[in-house]
């Protein structure tokens, strides 16, 4: 039978796509930030529930093989996907909470998100990086749910692709937290 563990994440991804389209409209931008925060929380809760019920967490890992040489034996380095997915999800949630705070403040003050030119550029960069980071986390979640079976080993090209996606999933959420924290500091600047 088919592996259906990713189906719930696929449905979350469809809702993400609708909310991402709302980020680029001035009327729905503030609502989208709030709903993305809620959906991000649901995403984390769903993934934590899956982790609690998963008996094979340790085997769902990148395997980096160091070859046997004259002086060393062959070693396997295992990097569990959970160590990449969970911190990325938590950092994405933190950045979306910051953006919800920013949008609530701006809505109460101006009725819409009003930023200067540089901060508007940072907001657009945040939106783009948030979307890319969310898709990369979804790709890793797909790989976590479907790819790691003991029967079929992963190809070298696919492992390389997953490593690149993992790097993006690590760097972009960190950059998003920094960027959203900076944008939230715009609240302090505008109230002075």
Query: What is the rounded average pLDDT of the residues 2-17?
Result: 86
Confidence tier at 111 by pLDDT (50, 70, 90):
confident
Contact 93, 41 (CB under 8 A): yes
Q: Per-residue pLDDT tens for 147-185?
A: 776 666 777 788 888 889 999 999 999 999 999 998 888
Contact 157, 96 (CB under 8 A): no
Nearest Cα to Cα of residue 84 among 142, 157, 149, 141: 141
Residues 6+ apart with CB under 8 A from 123: 113, 115, 183
The single residue listed with the structure tokens 């080993």 is: 153
Query: What is the rounded average pLDDT of the residues 106-130?
Result: 85
> pLDDT exceeding 90 applies to what percent of the chain?
42
pTM equals 0.86
CA separation for the pair 32, 42 (Å, rounded): 15
- Indicate the SS3 state at residue 63: strand
Task: Measure the N-to-C terminal CA separation of the chain; round to a whole number of Å.
Answer: 61
């Amino acid at each position: 039978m088919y592996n259906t563990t990713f189906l719930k994440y696929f449905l979350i991804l469809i809702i993400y796509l609708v909310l991402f389209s709302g980020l680029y409209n001035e009327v729905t931008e503030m609502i989208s930030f709030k709903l993305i925060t809620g959906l991000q929380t649901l995403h984390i809760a769903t993934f934590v529930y899956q982790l609690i019920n998963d008996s094979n967490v340790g085997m769902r890992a990148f395997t980096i093989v160091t070859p046997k040489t004259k002086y060393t034996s062959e070693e396997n380095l295992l990097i569990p996907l959970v160590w990449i997915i969970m911190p990325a999800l938590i950092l994405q949630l933190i950045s979306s909470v910051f953006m919800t705070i920013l949008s609530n403040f701006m809505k109460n003050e101006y009725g819409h998100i009003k930023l200067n030119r540089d901060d508007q550029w940072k907001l657009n960069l945040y939106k783009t990086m948030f979307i890319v980071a969310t898709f990369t986390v979804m790709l890793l979640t797909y790989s976590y749910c479907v790819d790691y079976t003991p029967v079929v080993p992963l190809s070298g090209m696919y492992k390389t692709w997953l490593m690149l996606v993992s790097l993006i999933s690590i760097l972009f959420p960190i950059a998003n937290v920094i960027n959203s924290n900076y944008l939230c500091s715009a609240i302090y600047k505008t109230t002075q």
